[in-house]
Amino acid sequence: MQQTTPPKSTPSDLNFWQIWNITFGFFGTQFGWALQMGNTSAIYEYLGANPEQIPLLWLAGPITGLIIQPLIGYWSDRGTPLGRRKPFFLAGAILSSFALIMMPNSGNLWMAAGMLWILDTSFNSTVEPLRAFTGDRISGEQRTLGFTMQAFFIGLGAVLGSLCPWIFSHLGFINDVGTKTAIPLSVKLSFYFGALVYLSCVLWTALSTGKSPLDYNPPSEEEQEPAGAGDFFRNIWQMPKTMRQLAVVQFFTWVGMFCVFLYLPPAIARQVFGATDQTSPLYTQGIEWAGIFIAVYNGVCFIVSLFLARFAKLTSRKFVHGFCLLCGGIGLISLFWIRDRYFIFFSAMALGMAWASILSMPYSILADALPEEKMGSYIGIFNIFTVVPQICVALGLGWVMSAFLDSSHLLAVVLGGFFLIIAALFVPRVTDVVEDSSISSSELREEEIRQLAGDRG
């Protein structure tokens, strides 16, 4: 039987504003995600958590990502009567906005953990189809530009989301401090505003982008493999070579980044500002300053993302990714010696370079190695290698901190820097089907399938 090729999802000559509209939803998702990253650990400490408990309380995120992202990617490939991607990321945006409103109103530690569970589930339901949506709509030489513009919006949204508590505090909204369970008013208002931004931006992408051939006409039943659990596990077994190599890089990258997400704000509050506990005004100031740190590294992220495509064209995508990861690792390790609140911004700038590449280069390299009709499924599977390392950190870092790091938030962040450097060392082993070989991704894919079939025969 002759193999048919599904229609290309997009022309290769999209204008700037079309690419803008396709990727604009990431501004809202990252606005909300920055609020979660910058404030969740502090919310847990306000509600009485100790440092060793925090990794386990964050476990909701990676577990939901492990389950939700591959399933959402798989389902969104097949589509619904309302479309292929949009119903999924719209539903996720609505649920995320609800969770953002409820999170800072948690009355106890376990309610906050439950709200994080809902927030992460809905966030994954939004971001996975949005990322595949970018791969659907942008092809050819414009694909790297599309993913770097996606990184631009991620960085810009994260800058403003990270600054929100500091802005509201300096607009005169008085923080309620002095009791363990008093979540500051500036944090609450930031989460409410974040919910509005999140939903509005995702709606913009949904309403400003028209149909594509694959939206309402996905590959036919004859062109697709049978649906079901067997198809899902077959996709895992038949991962392209490039995807397997990138998975190793992703694993070490996200071990490092999750250490940062868990402990950076409390580390700055306690090590730089000298706060002794969460009831101290210095602790609130430190958490707000950590938001500025996060804003700086995300600001560098969206500035650097403007030049990543050109830098990659002059060198290679692998060189860019390895170099940026190395800078980020060195930046985090340097925090061990810094005690001045302004000097930490040099570390933030180095981390921002890494973050810009983490959000774009692996997906740009991967998208060229994947069959278009399974873009969502494979990107969802690829994100397993983002969440599995987070689960490992959540289950093991509390013990490591207690046994080896003297429960130091700062040393946990420094440890994350070493893992980014390890990730950088694995980047040269990745095969980029565009830059490393003249063979097309579809030809490489067919060859790999033949080899797998032969191995199993």
Could you read off the pLDDT of 32-73 as tens digits, one per residue? Answer: 888 887 788 778 887 887 777 778 787 766 777 677 766 776
* Dist. CA 402–CA 398, nearest whole Å: 6
* Dist. CA 73–CA 131, nearest whole Å: 10
Residue 253 Cα distances to 212, 355, 421, 452, angstroms: 34, 10, 8, 28
Q: Which two tokens stand for residue 49?
A: 């958590």
Res 437: pLDDT: 57
Enumerate the β-bridge partners of residue 83.
80
Collect all residues with Cβ–Cβ distance below 8 Å to 451 and sequence separation of at least 6: none
Per-residue pLDDT for the chain (457 aa), expressed as one digit of tens each? 333 333 444 445 777 788 888 888 889 998 988 888 778 877 888 788 777 777 878 776 677 767 776 677 667 666 666 667 788 888 888 988 998 998 888 878 888 888 888 888 888 788 878 877 777 777 666 766 777 787 778 778 888 888 888 888 888 775 555 444 467 788 889 999 999 999 999 999 888 887 655 555 554 444 444 444 455 566 666 677 888 889 999 999 999 998 998 888 888 888 888 777 777 778 878 888 888 898 888 888 878 878 888 888 888 899 999 999 999 999 999 999 888 888 999 999 999 999 989 988 888 888 777 776 666 677 777 878 888 888 888 888 888 888 888 888 889 999 999 999 999 999 999 988 776 654 444 454 455 544 444 444 4
Q: Which two tokens stand for residue 175?
A: 């923080």
Res 452: pLDDT: 42
Cβ distance 417 to 331 under 8 Å? yes
Amino acid at 208: S
